Amino acid sequence: MSSKEEMTRNNTNKLSKKERRSAAWRWSLIGSNNVNYGTLQGTGYAWAVANTLRKVYPNDDEYVEAMKVEYEYFNITPYMGPLVVGADIAMQEQQGTESLDAVRSIKTSLMGPLSGIGDSLLWVLFPTIMGSISGYMALDGNPLGAIVWMILNIGLVWMRLKLFDLGYDSGARLITDMADQLTAITEAASVMGLTVVGSLIATVVKVHTPLEFTFGEVTLGLQEEVFNQILPALLPVLLTGLVYWLMEKKKWGFLKIIFAIIVLSLIGSYFGILGVAP
């Protein structure tokens, strides 16, 4: 038996069903409520898996190494979070710290697509449609309105547990059945995550300059006629690159960067260098 197979065998089934689901319950109760500007749901995610991973890593150094990954940036529709948590735990249960790169990639690549589904169906459509039906029933004096709404929300709790089980089973199969392809899957997940982040830069980050230059009767808009012709999202890309450089090279914290952007925006707006995009 190879050392890899022996390691997988020795790391399998470290956790009972109760210990595994503890992470799903912790995430469902408070995991997404502890939000900060640095990691958004990262601290809540780490808290949700902390007790479960402690069972996986009796060694302090390995536990700290794993928790550093769990504390990283994470943001997802809370209803969909258990699916990622389940896959995360399954991968670490079977491969230990060797799975951390894959765990990081899976978290990064899944939180965007799953949030798209969760936000549309469970964050918007579900409370809008079912909440309206239950609300109108309650306004008419029908107690079924409140009862139906409570039953539906209990159903969402059950759904979270099932999503956790689905994520756990998928994560286990990812390691056992597709171990040879894990590197390719990890790289594909990383590419997907980077693609999502890259699209956010162009669509979410807004930087616009109203500066114009006049040459005789010709007026040249710096944004429309220069920057947009080079790259439509050139200024957002440059700003993102500057923020990354400050964080990575200068070790600036998030709060310092936020205040710096606010000051830069105020100064740029005052002197007419920056403005609101039309």
Write down the pLDDT at residue 13. 53
Q: Is residue 278 part of a domain?
A: no
Confidence at residue 49, expressed as pLDDT on a 0 to 100 scale: 92
Confidence grade of residue 11 (pLDDT, cut at 50, 70, 90): very low
* Ramachandran sector of residue 40 (left: φ over 0; alpha: ψ -120 to 50; beta: rest): left
DSSP character for 39? T
Flag whether 277 is in a domain: no
Task: Tell whether 51 and 154 lie within a shared domain.
Answer: yes
Q: Are 128 and 232 found together in one domain?
A: no
Q: Which pLDDT value is given to residue 266?
A: 93
Q: Are residues 213 and 194 in the same domain?
A: no
d(CA 186, CA 101): 8
Q: Look up the pTM and report it.
A: 0.64
Asked whether 61 and 146 are in contact (CB, 8 A), the reply is no
Same domain as 237, residue 144: no
- Regarding whether 165 and 83 lie in a shared domain, the answer is yes
Q: Do 83 and 212 sit in the same domain of this protein? A: no
For residues 32 and 78, membership in a common domain is answered with: yes
Confidence band of 4 (pLDDT split at 50, 70, 90) = very low
Q: Are residues 237 and 188 in the same domain?
A: no
Residue 168 resides in a domain: yes
Which pLDDT tens digit goes with each residue over 183-216? 665 566 667 667 767 777 877 788 988 888 887 7
CA 35, CA 42: separation in Å to the nearest integer?
Answer: 8
Element (H, E) at 118: helix 100-118
Please state the domain count of the chain: 2
More confident residue, 39 or 49: 49
Q: Is residue 84 part of a domain?
A: yes
Please, are residues 36 and 72 in contact by the beta-carbon 8 Å criterion?
no
Distances (CA, A) of 129 to 134, 141, 143, 147: 9, 19, 18, 16
187 and 248 fall within a common domain = no
Task: For residue 218, give the 3-state DSSP assignment.
Answer: strand
Say if CB 85 and CB 49 are below 8 A apart: yes
Task: Please tell me the total number of residues recorded for the chain in this structure.
Answer: 278
- Confidence check: pLDDT of 5 > 70: no
Residues 217 and 185 in one domain: no
Count Cβ neighbours within 10 Å for each residue of 2-11 and write b for 16 or more, e otherwise.
eeeeeebeeb
**Of the residues 176, 198, 220, which one is the last residue of a structural domain?**
198
Distance CA 80, CA 74 (A): 12
pLDDT digits (tens, 9 = 90+) for 15-37: 888 888 888 899 988 777 778 77
User: What tokens does 60 get?
Assistant: 């302090």
pLDDT in tens, 95-153: 888 888 888 888 887 887 788 777 777 777 777 778 878 887 888 888 888 898 899 88
The answer to whether residue 276 is domain-embedded is: no
Per DSSP, 72 falls in state S
**183, two tokens:** 């590197």
Say if residue 30 is in the same domain as residue 162.
yes
Task: Please name which of 252, 275, 272 lies closest in space to residue 38, comparing C-alpha atoms.
Answer: 252
Q: Which domain holds residue 185?
A: 3-198
